[in-house]
């Protein structure tokens, strides 16, 4: 089952605009991570935010985390056509085994029009 759910499912914007993606999750977490995936390829780690952090920046990326609402957002500023990809949030969910595993949301497909 999915721990995180991203919204929107798809987003289309013009180059230069900002893109905001949201992620909601269900259980308590140690951290939340965002990954990017170009079509049919592997995932690239973008940023990790710990449960005791509220905001984190990395280049044009800004991530916020609200543990009271169990939600996170990823903001990409001044988007470029090369940012076109799917973006996933991931959290460490405790499995039936009692051990944690990285669990991904359903993803947001971002299309940046040149």
Interface residues with another protein (CB under 8 A) are: 2, 30-31, 33, 35, 40-45, 48, 50, 88, 92, 95-97, 99-107
Which residue's CB is nearer to another protein, number 98 or number 114?
98
52 alpha-carbon distance from chain centroid: 17
Peptide bond into 8 cis (omega under 30): yes
Which residue's CB is nearer to another protein, number 15 or number 24?
24
Which residue's CB is nearer to another protein, number 44 or number 78?
44
Q: What is the DSSP letter of 107?
A: -
Least gap, CB of 84 to another protein (angstroms)? 18
Least gap, CB of 1 to another protein (angstroms)? 8
Kindly report the number of other CB atoms within 10 A of residue 103's CB atom: 20
Which residue's CB is nearer to another protein, number 17 or number 100?
100
Contact 73, 21 (CB under 8 A): yes
Least gap, CB of 100 to another protein (angstroms)? 7
> What is the sign, positive or negative, of the torsion defined by CA atoms of 10, 78, 23, 41?
positive
């Amino acid at each position: 089952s999915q721990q995180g759910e991203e919204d929107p499912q798809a987003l289309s914007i013009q180059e230069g605009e900002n893109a905001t993606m949201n992620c909601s999750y269900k259980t308590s977490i140690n951290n939340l991570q965002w990954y990017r995936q170009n079509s049919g390829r592997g995932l690239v780690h973008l940023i990790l935010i710990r449960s005791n952090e509220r905001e984190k920046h990395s280049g044009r990326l800004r991530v916020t985390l609200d543990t009271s609402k169990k939600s996170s957002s990823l903001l990409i500023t001044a988007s470029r056509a090369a940012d076109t990809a799917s973006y996933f949030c991931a959290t460490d969910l405790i499995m039936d085994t009692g051990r944690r595993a990285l669990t991904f949301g359903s993803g947001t497909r971002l299309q940046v029009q040149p």
